[in-house]
Amino acid sequence: MNLNSILEFDQIRKKWSTHALTKSAAEQIDTITYELDESTLQKHLLDTTHARDMIRSCGMPPLVSMEQAEEILGRAVKEGCLTPDQLETIGQLLTAVRRLIDYLNKGKAYNNPLSWYEQNLDACNVLRDEIALQIRSGQVDDHASKQLSRVRAELVRVKEKMIQKAEQVMRTQKECMADQFYTMRGGHICIPVKKDYKWKVKGSVIDQSSKGSTLFIEPAAVGNMQESTQALELEEMREVSRILYTLTAMVADDAPVILKNIRMMEKLDFIFSKGKLSLEMNASEPQIHTDRKIRLKNARHPLMDQAACIPLQFEIGESADGIIITGPNTGGKTVAMKTIALNCYMAQCGLHVTCEEADICMNSSILCDIGDGQNLTENLSTFSAHIKNILEIIGQVTPESLVVMDELGSGTDPAEGMGIAVSILEELRRSGCLFLVTTHYPEVKEYADRAERIQNARMEFDRRTLQPTYRMIIGEAGESCAFYIAQKLGMPQRMLETAARAAYGEVAGLTVPADSGNQQTAAKASPGIKEIRKIKKAKKTAHAAKLSEKFRIGDSVMVFPDKKIGIVCTPVNEKGVLQIQMPDKKIYINQKRVKLHVAAAELYPDDYDFSILFDTVQNRKIRHEMSRKYTTKTIEKNVDA
């Protein structure tokens, strides 16, 4: 029994997960189940209420995803040097902590208890400020230290001087240049020199073009300054490493505090995700207790459109422990049952419920049998699946359980199904649990009237519009309304009377218009009954009949355009085609290309056997044998194309 799927709590999880920003909170949502400790559950519900109120008063909390933060902390603690990007991630995390602290402090003005979580957060201001000062845009900033600032400034000055030297050579020896601009090759400033003028430019060849016509030469004056540049770059690298190692050590020192921040932010992310879901569903905090009572005011299914949903009023446990819901199909019985069970499940998971008011008792288990449960791989019919689930439920039920069952006793012989339904209800009544079931059996309604601590309820049905109102009325038994619906839709009186005798042994209060027995009148009364339609046979046209008589078997005909003579084997069909025996073969041809030469009546006697002309000797012998005795021989079809 997959309770999450049956009650559609898995759909609630999906909506809930969209409000979680951290991986930890999403995993907690994915594995959550109903809480059994009353004090813990009441705290969870208060957290949800405070989160919703905080969002209403202060806006959305500045929480962020922190998937890489723990991995970075682990590397820092293991004495690895963090990269500027990794240090920047830690800096962003600490900035988010600082913003969250400010956000929670705002809530203190509204006396929101969640505000005091700020005492468990530490923004590590010194580390945060150092990272912000020394790391910028994924790099160590030029002003991270005085020495780094000096070295980088000197590097810029030297490189500018090298560029000036290169440009000076290009100006003085313009005729030797293949281009007007210097270029970088392997970290060297080079000028593009035509191959034929290589000897005119002093310097080192660093590279050449793909065709070899241009050489990239580092001028001697520039090359003399390259050593100074390399020395400055090494000094820069040492200073950058010193800064990164210093910041990494600071991160390692504050790692326990940062990790504590992460855990607190994950906890707050989970709490605020519940508040966001409550606001999305326009939900309210339920009152939770251990008394075996449930009362829902204006309850609705959390996944249904609020504007289209009819509010449900429900109460159980005060005067009855079991409710038997009856009413017509599509009357909302199953939706009502799921609404009650799903709201109870959500409340016990620490979520707000989609009710105006709700008093909900804690349940040690919520046991469901909803849906037909057919399973072809296990060879389970609808009835077998119901019984299998019900036996599991009976084996697990306790006085603290909530049991919901749909279409109790269905899927088998009505008399036997009714008996099984009553026996199940009696077993549930003895267990002392709270239970809610739907059924169509009138005997079960009568059982509910007689049995202690069980009440009937019905889903209201508008007989005028033939539509359900989806309102539950507790204390009254419902009816299926099948005869009434059939009557309003135009079922003839004789059929209704037959149905009533079969069901109850008598005709009970069935009234229809006087002419409703007439099929046409019934059709006019209800658009559901259509006029009887009859098959219309095709008639042979005069033209087709005339064609079939135009040529007869044995007629001698002339075939155009060759004007050859042949004999008709098969008369003209409806498509105007006939078969003709020519001197050497049989052909099919359109009657428009054939002209009667001599009629068969003039050539042959009335009883002439045309098989002599058109059939083979072998086939004629076989036919003769068939007329006298049994034979296994078959006639061969001899058709010449």
pLDDT in tens, 511-522: 444 343 444 444
Q: Does residue 624 carry a pLDDT above 90?
A: no
Q: Does residue 379 carry a pLDDT above 50?
A: no
Average pLDDT over residues 23-45: 94
Average pLDDT over residues 531-557: 69
pLDDT score of 90: 94
Residue 446 amino acid letter: E
Indicate the pTM of the whole model.
0.70
CA distance 216 to 214: 7
pLDDT score of 606: 80
Q: Does residue 35 carry a pLDDT above 90?
A: yes
Confidence category of residue 640, pLDDT binned at 50, 70, 90: very low
Confidence category of residue 534, pLDDT binned at 50, 70, 90: low
Residues in contact with 152: Cβ distance below 8 Å, sequence separation at least 6, in sequence order: 142, 236
Q: Which of 45, 22, 38 is nearest to 358 (CA)?
A: 45
Q: Does residue 375 carry a pLDDT above 50?
A: no
Q: Decide which of 492 and 382 is more confident.
A: 492
Question: 50-81, pLDDT tens digit by residue?
Answer: 999 999 999 999 998 888 899 999 999 987 89
CA distance 506 to 490: 21
CA distance 105 to 112: 10
Q: Does residue 275 carry a pLDDT above 70?
A: yes
CA distance 215 to 182: 12
Sign of the dihedral through C-alpha 69, 71, 73, 79: negative
Average pLDDT over residues 466-481: 70
CA distance 329 to 338: 16
Average pLDDT over residues 556-568: 90
* Mean pLDDT taken over the chain: 84
Residue 329 amino acid letter: N
Contact 281, 347 (CB under 8 A): no
CA distance 352 to 49: 8
pLDDT score of 114: 95
pLDDT score of 540: 55
Give Dmax (Cα) for the chain: 133
User: Can you tell me which residue has the tokens 């991160």?
Assistant: 251
Question: 187-208, pLDDT tens digit by residue?
Answer: 888 989 998 878 888 888 888 8
HEC assignment per residue over 330-341: CCCHHHHHHHHH
pLDDT score of 328: 66
Contact 448, 477 (CB under 8 A): yes
Q: Which residues pair with 435 in a beta bridge?
A: 322, 403
pLDDT score of 466: 60
pLDDT score of 314: 93
Contact 399, 393 (CB under 8 A): no
pLDDT score of 195: 87
Q: Does residue 496 carry a pLDDT above 90?
A: no
pLDDT above 90 as % of the chain: 44
CA distance 310 to 298: 8
Q: Decide which of 503 and 90 is more confident.
A: 90
627-631 long-range contacts, Cβ below 8 Å, gap at least 24?
Answer: none
pLDDT score of 378: 45
Contact 45, 288 (CB under 8 A): yes
Average pLDDT over residues 72-92: 91
Contact 101, 118 (CB under 8 A): yes
Confidence category of residue 286, pLDDT binned at 50, 70, 90: very high
pLDDT score of 488: 72
CA distance 461 to 448: 21
Average pLDDT over residues 311-318: 91
Sign of the dihedral through C-alpha 620, 625, 628, 629: negative
Question: 137-176, pLDDT tens digit by residue?
Answer: 889 988 888 999 899 898 888 888 888 888 888 888 888 8
Inter-axis angle of helices 84-107 and 220-281, to 10 degrees? 30
**Torsional class of 203: left (φ above 0), alpha (ψ -120 to 50), beta (otherwise):** left
Contact 167, 180 (CB under 8 A): no
pLDDT score of 310: 83
pLDDT score of 1: 62
* First-last CA distance in the chain: 71
CA distance 154 to 149: 9
pLDDT above 70 as % of the chain: 85
Confidence category of residue 543, pLDDT binned at 50, 70, 90: low
Residue 322: CB atoms within 10 Å? 21
Residue 210 amino acid letter: S
pLDDT score of 505: 66
Average pLDDT over residues 113-118: 95
